[in-house]
């Protein structure tokens, strides 16, 4: 596997965290894997990750502050070896767009459970919980590929 694209809804919370965690783990392991993230929706294109995502990542030694949201494109399905959806809705949307090289992140540590969208949580604790889920799953994904 040479490239991974993480996909959530708006590309400002979960998928940038997954991208950042993957980049850090890939660097530590010395792998040569290209990583990116995108959203199925287009309303946050060009924006930085949300403040709480930047903060939780920073608290764990991951810098995602320079990332910018983008919408997934059909060409991504050919460019990336693996497309990783953060929840079932995004998985279904990507499948409907014709994506074949698709998995769900929760299959790598949470028995297929969705990685919930912390954007709608009250408080910072939800971001900590989501970060922990993402970190576990990304680590397992990289170890099992």
pTM score: 0.96
Report d(CA 129, CA 135) in Å as an integer: 10
Span 93-108, mean pLDDT?
97
Res. 23: pLDDT tops 80: yes
* CATH code for residues 3-143: 3.40.50.2300
Res. 7: pLDDT tops 90: yes
* Burial class of residue 122 in the structure, from the number of CB atoms within 10 Å of its CB (0-12 exposed, 13-18 middle, 19+ buried): exposed
* Burial class of residue 144 in the structure, from the number of CB atoms within 10 Å of its CB (0-12 exposed, 13-18 middle, 19+ buried): exposed
What's the pLDDT tens digit per position in 116-130? Answer: 998 777 788 889 999
Residue 31's pLDDT is 85
Report d(CA 130, CA 108) in Å as an integer: 14
Residue 122's pLDDT is 75
Res. 99: pLDDT tops 80: yes
Which residues are annotated as catalytic? 8, 14, 117
Helices (H), the chain: 14-29, 51-59, 76-79, 88-96, 125-143
């Amino acid at each position: 596997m040479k490239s991974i694209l993480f996909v959530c809804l708006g590309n400002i919370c979960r998928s940038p965290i997954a991208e950042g965690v993957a980049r850090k783990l890939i660097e530590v392991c010395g792998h040569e894997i290209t990583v990116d993230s995108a959203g199925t929706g287009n309303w946050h294109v060009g924006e930085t990750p949300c403040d709480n995502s930047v903060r939780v990542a920073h608290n764990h030694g991951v810098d995602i502050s320079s990332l910018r949201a983008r919408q997934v494109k059909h060409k991504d399905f050919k460019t990336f070896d693996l497309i990783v959806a953060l929840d079932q809705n995004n998985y279904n949307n990507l499948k409907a767009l014709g994506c074949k090289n698709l998995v769900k992140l929760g299959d790598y540590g949470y028995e297929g459970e969705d990685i919930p969208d912390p954007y709608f949580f009250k408080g910072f604790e939800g971001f900590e919980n989501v970060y922990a889920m993402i970190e576990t799953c990304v680590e397992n994904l990289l170890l099992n590929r």
